[in-house]
Amino acid sequence: MKQEEFGEERRREERFAKNLVVRFTRLEEISADVPYRDGQLLDLSGGGLCFLTDDALPVGSQLVMVLEFPGWQAVEDGKWLATKQEEDVGVLRAVGMVSWVAVSRARPDKYETGVCFSGRVTA
């Protein structure tokens, strides 16, 4: 592997750090009424997200995720409006695939989980 390929940034979207909870479940667990679990969002982009979780999820797992954005509202045609009012909470439901998992350096008791979005359920 060439040096310039090592550590090369492959993301197409800029990532933004956010301090939000991600509620998630594996797609195959939805029909079994397995409750959603909570993770801590580390960063977010148009193409995916990274979050901390207690357990290592299998790479390739399909996840259904729910993110709540205080101070935002979902409006028509998939657009969002910044209201800056804490009581307004925009909810995004998305489907994604786990693309990588690693033990967190900052929190060795947690796993950093990278997810690539594959679709939006509803806004």
- Return the pLDDT at 8: 46
CA distance 62 to 97: 5
Given pLDDT bands bounded at 50, 70 and 90, which one contains residue 18? Answer: low
Three-state DSSP state, 4: coil
- The second-level CATH assignment, the architecture, of 16-122 is Beta Barrel (2.40)
Given pLDDT bands bounded at 50, 70 and 90, which one contains residue 104? Answer: very high
| pTM of the entire predicted model | 0.76
Given pLDDT bands bounded at 50, 70 and 90, which one contains residue 112? Answer: very high
CA distances from 15 to 22, 35, 54, 58, 114 (A): 16, 28, 23, 23, 12
Q: What is the pLDDT of residues 46-67, one digit of tens each?
A: 889 999 999 999 999 999 999 9
